[in-house]
Amino acid sequence: MGNKKTVGQRALFATKIGVIATTVGSAVGLGNIWRFPYEAGSNGGGAFMACYFMFIFIIGVPVICAEFIMGRGTRSNIFGAYRKLSPKGKWYVAGFMGILASVLILSFYSVVAGWILEYLIQSLTGSIKLADASANHVAFDEFSTSSFRPVIWTLSFLALNFLILINGVAKGIERMSNILMPMLFVLLVIFCINSLTLDKASEGLTFLFHPDFSKISPQVLLSAMGQAFFSLSLGLGCMTTYASYFGEGTKLGRTAMTTAILDTLVAILAGIIIFPAVFSFGFSPQAGPTLVFEVLPAVFNNLPGGVVWSSLFFLLLTLASLTSTISMSEISIAFMVEEWKLSRKVATIVNTLVAMFFGTLCALSFGVLSDVKIFGLTIFNLFDYASSNVLLPIGGMIASIFVGWVVDKRFVKSQMTGNGAYKSVLLPFVVFCLRYTAPAGIALVFLNSIGLI
């Protein structure tokens, strides 16, 4: 990375492709390939999908722009961005919420990434069982409920994340994302084609793309909204922190749109891979968080040279997970470095140790801690639900109200138009959504889900 640019003490992403690759790298991850299929499967398929699309474009895109504007405009972490833009206000409290969400997500996300590592090693050593539905179910259940291996993998994944992080922003992240994302994409397209040849492919596609609107319930709406936020890495200051490393020439509207489109495309591909297989091989779409780990081996089983495909896939998915965990770690690291004046190394150690502690609890909540329930949820499910369905949408609502109503309109305009150098077709739409549709939409979904309206 010879041409590393800096503003003050901060490193900037060196190239335009670096900006897209890293934001998309943050957005694309287990959220698309693990979480999206199981949420869609548990929430009525097509009905969920329709709500999800709507939330991505009328709430997601405007809120990404809001986070970009705050980050690039202040060159700060999420907490610092609120403070700089409103020195007397209490908006920065939302920054703390974002940091909390990032730690919760990093903890449970690393457990799933740990499962991926297990499957990667099993694929590489040839010990993975590529079999039918019930055998896959038993194999995964046995593994995930044990105490030792899931914890070791969670900790190993976090250690890997740590090693990449202490190498700095531009170097570590940019280099990896540039090659990785296109490769993953190609692999997904190949798997899609394979799934489309399965005998009950059309049933799977109908389930996913044919919305039965009578299935839309308050819970489906909340889950679809939570998934939109989670998948876009939105509502916790991740995009703010990344945008603080963007160059002045980066077009925010275009970057937001590209990120949303590519992220959604990857989720759709994952859906096209999973659901035809679910119906053809006799799985239940409602299996929950374990769905993908049961269905994918059956998909690979159907491909000639299955173990080669599964090795390649789990390897790329590990890297895709890393580009996401790097981005969520960056939220609290940037905060600790800039606000607490810790060295980057110490901040990274703190972030990793906290996640290792909570990650271990999450990993054990499928086995020995499965009886520990808070609000009726296991620790893993609580972390997932509290972050995706509560903290992120609230964070997004605050960011949209803040940028829509509180921040100076000229500042918003100048960020979106490169200080007037070019036009932003998205600007009027973004401002309108930030002021009205996003805050009102999020509030309605919340009130609806707790039964107030």
Residues that bind ligand PHE (CB under 6 A): 26-27, 29-32, 105, 230-231, 233, 236, 238, 324, 327-328
- Sign of the torsion formed by the C-alpha atoms of 218, 221, 226 and 229: negative
**Smallest gap from residue 236 Cβ to ligand PHE (A):** 6
Min dist CB 44 to ligand PHE, Å, is: 21
In the complex, what is the shortest distance from the CB of residue 29 to ligand PHE, in angstroms, rounded to a whole number?
3
Distance of closest approach, residue 84 Cβ to ligand PHE, in angstroms: 22
Q: Which is nearer to ligand PHE, 37 or 133 (CB)?
A: 37
246: three-class secondary structure by DSSP: coil
6 phi/psi in degrees, rounded to 5? -135, 150
Tell me the β-bridge partners of 407: none
Burial 132-144 (b: 16+ CB within 10 A, else e): ebeebbebbeebb
Residue 102 or 301: the one with the smaller Cβ distance to ligand PHE is 102
Which among 389, 203, 165 is positioned nearest to 281, based on CA atoms? 203
Q: Which is nearer to ligand PHE, 232 or 337 (CB)?
A: 232
CB of 291 to ligand PHE, least distance (A): 16
Closer to ligand PHE by Cβ: residue 104 or 412 = 104
Toward ligand PHE, which CB reaches closer, 118 or 263?
263
Task: Locate all alpha helices (DSSP H) within 75-165, ordered by sequence.
Answer: 78-85, 93-124, 133-145, 148-165
Q: Which is nearer to ligand PHE, 31 or 80 (CB)?
A: 31
CB of 205 to ligand PHE, least distance (A): 23
Write down the least CB distance from residue 24 to ligand PHE, Å.
10
Q: Which is nearer to ligand PHE, 328 or 355 (CB)?
A: 328
Task: Please identify which residue in the block is written with the tokens 């996300």.
Answer: 109
Q: Which is nearer to ligand PHE, 229 or 281 (CB)?
A: 229
230 vs 402, beta carbon nearer ligand PHE: 230
Beta-carbon contacts of 150 under 8 Å, excluding residues fewer than 6 positions away, are: 111, 114, 115, 118, 143, 144, 363, 364, 366, 367
> Closest approach of Cβ 235 to ligand PHE, in Å?
8
* Residue (198 or 320) nearer to ligand PHE, CB: 320
CA–CA distance, 379 with 372 (Å, rounded to integer): 7
Phi-psi region of 237 (alpha: psi -120 to 50; beta: other; left: phi over 0): left
Reading the block at residue 424, the tokens are 């932003």
Q: Which residue is nearest to ligand PHE (CB)?
A: 31
| Local structure of residue 288 (DSSP, 8 states) | G
Shortest approach of ligand PHE to residue 425 CB, angstroms?
Answer: 26
Q: How far is the CB of 105 from ligand PHE (least distance, A)?
A: 5
Give 374's strand partners: 377
Burial class (CB in 10 A: 0-12, 13-18, 19+), 368: exposed
Angle between helix axes 306-339 and 175-196 (nearest 10 degrees) is 140
Residues 401, 41: Cα–Cα separation, whole Å: 33
Beta bridge partners of 5: 12
